[in-house]
Structures are given as C-alpha cells and as structure tokens.
Structure 1
Amino acid sequence: MPVKSPDMKDNVPPLIVMTDLDGTLLDHDTYSFAPAVPVMERLRATGIPLILNTSKTAAELASLRTTLQNTDPYVVENGSAIYLPAEQKGQTAHKTGDQVHILGARRSEILSFIQKIRVEEKFQFTGFADMEVSEVIAYTGLSESDSELAMTREFSEPLIWQDSAHQLRKFEALIANHGLRLLKGGRFVHVIGACDKGKCLHWLRERFTDSYGAQPAFVALGDSQNDVAMLNAADIAVIVRSSHHEPPDLEKQSSVIITEETGPQGWANALTQILDETLI
C-alpha cells in the first residue's frame, strides 16, 4: 500500500513518524540502516509516512531517499526548509523538482555575516565554505561523492569550532543579534536561521490536520541536542541511544522512550514496540 500524500483526503494515518538520520536511522560510523529495513517496510505497508528531518542537504537526500524508497515530505539542514512532493503548492526547489517551504535563512546571508565577524573578532573556526572535499571526507567519513553533496548547502553552514568556549558564547550572541542560531550537532556546530526541527514538525502537523480533518499523532526519533525541539514537539519522543554522547535532556516528561540499543537497531526496536501497541 503506497504512502499517501498529505494533500489527499483519506483516513488519518495511525501515526506519522519523523526521524533524524545520522546516529538515529543511520549508524553514526558506518551510515548503515540495515536493522531498520523491516520496520520501514512495515511503515510503507500500513500507510504511515516516514518524514526525514536532518542536518543533511536536499542534494544529499535525493539519492538516499531513493535507496530508502522514501516518497514522503522531508526536512533539510536542521529545520531550515521543508520539501514536499512536486505536485503540491509551494515555491519550486530548482535543484530537486520538489516544492520547498523555507523557514530558515539563505546560506549566502549566513556566510556574509559570519565571515565578517570572524575578521572583526578574530574567531577561529573552519566552515564547509573554507574546506576542500578532502577535508570534509576527513571530518565526516563520507565518500568523495557524498562529501560533495554535503557541501551543496543552501540554508546553513557547519563549522568546526577551533576557539575557546568563551569565544563560542560570544559568537553565538553576535549571530543571535543578527537573527541567526547556533546549533550543536554530533560532529559540527551549525549556523542556521531562526528555525529548528520542532518548528517543522508543528508546520507539518498543521498541514496533515488540514488535509485529513483530524490531527494525527507524531512519533519523533533522534539522538542528539539538535533533535531536542523535534522530540519535545512530538506526541511520542524516542531518544535513540548513542555510543558517542549522553542522551539529550528534554522538557517533555511523558511519552518518552530511551532505547537500549544504539543507532538503527535502537530505532527499529522502539518503532516496533510503538507499532505493536498502536496497530492492534
């Protein structure tokens, strides 16, 4: 049974699943998603949308979504933009053919400002705009082709911070005054617009509610600090345990699951439990 577009009037799906990728659906070190395949097949069979919500770019997701057989809406660059199937209303995303709803800032604006204050304040950091492909490969472990896709950013700039914690706080305050945010991810600190993964969940919840005439329940899965807004906004939050850092703290107190297993195995176990309890 194919997953339905959120613009199609039909029965409300029992759940909508929104997930982070690196360290959650994808293994932190190998990027494998093998343990999650049976659960993704189960979601497709029951008509439950699987919305990818990631720090990755739209270019990176193009081939990955094909591999995952994913045709649902998706969110890129830490909540900066929501991409929808091309036949839906929105602003055309020229690189993907999909439609995009932009919540964040353009990368050109971000780069202009952070390069200006780097000179003025003598901040020490290296961003993707400063790197060669070989450096991105070294920092991420991605292949050459995947690293090139990761560098095609439109709404954010990942940084390797090479200065003190005091300077980082100063940097964060300066960009906040300019309407930008600093988000700490698993490998990088990301400079983005006034957006986050949670705002995208709220936006999509309203869209699905308008389309179906009722509000579906969202399950969100993530492993790190940049997933907190998404996890807090969900009806059921799944913190996927990481072998690289402690689970993030949530304001949300109820309907929170912390997995025992890490990465895609923890992802699969938690969703299996939720689906078993929901689809009865």
Structure 2
Amino acid sequence: MTDATPPPSYLVFTDLDGSLLDHHSYDWQPAAPWLMRLGEAGIPVIPVTSKTRSELLELRRELGLEKTPFIGENGAVIGLPPSWQHATLDRDPDDIEGLRIKTLGADINFLRQRLEVLREHLGCRFRCLSEMPLEEIVAETGLSEPAARRAVAREGSEPILWEDDARALDEFRAALKDDALTLTQGGRFHHVMGDVDKGRAIDWLVARFVALRGASPVTLGLGDGPNDVSLLQAVDRAVLIRGCHSHPVEVSHPSLYSTRRAGPHGWVEGIEHWLGETLA
C-alpha cells in the first residue's frame, strides 16, 4: 500500500500598491483576516512590488510577513529570510535584519548615468524620482516624508515621471533597449531597470523553493497594473485586481480571475476565489 500523496505547497505572490494596499490610502486592513489565515496555514505571502528594500523592511513587520521573502523594485531586488537561504549559495555579506539580498539587473549608479545621457541626447522631458524635491514626492505619492525618503533609496531601478508625448516615449524605450535596459509602467511612475521583471524574479524564487524543499509549489499571483503582467503570467493561478488607474492591462492566462472590486477588497475576492475552499 502506497502512502497518500501529500497536499501541495502554495506560494502567494502579491503586488502591493493598488492590490494588497489601497491605491489612495495604502490601507490593508480589509485583507488582515486572510493574511492571518494564510499565515496559520503555512502559506507564504510574498510581496512583489516597485517598493524599495528600505520601504519593505518596515512594511513587512506591519503586515506580519517578516518570515517570507520579498521581491522589490519590480524584480530588481530579492530579499531572502533565513528559511529561504542556502548554505552555499548565499554567502552575500550584505545582511540586514537576517536577510540576504540578491540584486538582479543593473546597478542604480549606471542607470542614473545613462538616464542623464539619454535625456540630453534625445531631448525628451522626464524627471527621475531621485531628482524631485521631497515635498513633490509626497504630493505625487501620498506618502509621508519618512516613507518618501525610503522610496528614493533605490538599488536596481529608477522611477521617472514622464512629461513628454507618446512618440518621445517610444524613442526613449528603444534607446533604453539598446543599453539592455527596460521600461515598465506602474500606477504613478514609469520604472527604468535592467533586463528584469517581476515574473523572472518569481521564477528565481520558485526555483529556490524547489531546491530547498524538493517539490514544486502551486503558485498564485495577484496584481492590478501593467507592471504586474509578468507577475500574473509567471504563476499557476492569477488574479487581475480591478485597477484605480486608466492604464490598460492585458493578461493572457488560462487560469485568470478578474475581480469586481479594487484594492484590498479585490485582493480578498481573488484569494477567496482560488483558496476559499482549500482553507475552508
């Protein structure tokens, strides 16, 4: 008689702004009961966001996600807590609160230098987040001043506020591609980074999970914006949360659920659709 097949392991990959966090207020309390249920079930909830490591260190504590990895800056940065670290693969000396940090793609200094060169060469109009006065960042994002300072502490991507037309944006995107750089659109800013995205960072983390656990997980992803398309296409089950923005989001996925509600209410709707019966 053979042993019964063990139940599958689940990993939940979630965008933050406009998804788990309300687009305007950054409130996440509607999702709090489900975050607790997932934690009690041993299902990691992994933030996949444009936010920086500095922003995420505090936010992870608030959300109760200190034991799970995170993907920051749209896939440019991965943070590994101790239980996700490999004895021989993670000898990175950068150790912040027990985390090992993996930086994928391009270095922030290279990005900023190239952006300055391209702006002068192409004559296009945009401003980097790092160039904006703190009070303007607060006005654009709704963040507090301390949170805005953390948002500027980039390691592998640079948000820009585009102030030119669509034709100039196409030229800018093509010039970035010549430098092996990419441009993705978030809810408020465009983001310039190396040849990385949220989906490839998820693939990296899933491979790490398999290496450590010896089994493939069932993956669930939730997001609301154009920069979440690669996230949603990288997972087994996807949730496109109704957006509070005007940007078109097209996702091709055989197991896609689109929510009726936005923000954390839509997040809960998507989680209940895919995991409601499993965790009943």
| TM-score where L is the length of structure 1 | 0.92
Note if contact 2:31-2:268 (Cα within 8 Å) is conserved in structure 1. Answer: yes
Q: Distance in 2 between matches of 1:233 and 1:170?
A: 28
What's the counterpart of residue 207 of structure 1? Answer: 208
Report how far residue 94 of structure 1 moved. Answer: 5.2
Q: Distance in 2 between matches of 1:105 and 1:230?
A: 20
Do structure 1's residue 80 and structure 2's residue 76 form an aligned pair?
yes
Report how far residue 246 of structure 1 moved. Answer: 5.8
Q: Distance in 2 between matches of 1:199 and 1:244?
A: 25
Aligned residue type for 2:56 = L
Q: Distance in 1 between matches of 2:94 and 2:169?
A: 33
Do structure 1's residue 243 and structure 2's residue 238 form an aligned pair?
no
TM alignment of 1:157-196, pairs within 5 A: 157-196=158-197
Aligned residue type for 1:128 = L
Note if contact 1:13-1:48 (Cα within 8 Å) is conserved in structure 2. Answer: no
What's the counterpart of residue 255 of structure 1? Answer: 255
Q: Distance in 2 between matches of 1:122 and 1:12?
A: 57
Q: Distance in 1 between matches of 2:29 and 2:221?
A: 20
Aligned residue type for 1:47 = G
Q: Deviations over 1:130-150 (max 9, x none)?
A: 111111101101011100110
Q: Distance in 2 between matches of 1:117 and 1:24?
A: 33
| Cα gap change, 1:39 to 1:92, in 2 (>3 Å) | farther
What's the counterpart of residue 29 of structure 2? Answer: 34
Do structure 1's residue 25 and structure 2's residue 17 form an aligned pair?
no
| TM-score where L is the length of structure 2 | 0.92
Note if contact 1:17-1:219 (Cα within 8 Å) is conserved in structure 2. Answer: yes
TM alignment of 1:38-117, pairs within 5 A: 38-70=33-65, 71-86=67-82, 88-89=85-86, 90=90, 91-93=92-94, 97-117=98-118
Q: Distance in 1 between matches of 2:118 and 2:244?
A: 35
| Cα gap change, 1:246 to 1:134, in 2 (>3 Å) | closer
Q: Deviations over 1:90-149 (max 9, x none)?
A: 224355551122222111010000101111221110111211111110110101110011
Q: Distance in 1 between matches of 2:229 and 2:75?
A: 12
What's the counterpart of residue 270 of structure 1? Answer: 270
Q: SS at the partner of 1:150?
A: helix
Name the % identity.
Answer: 40
Q: Distance in 2 between matches of 1:210 and 1:105?
A: 26
- Structure 2 unaligned segments of length 5 or more: list them: 1-5
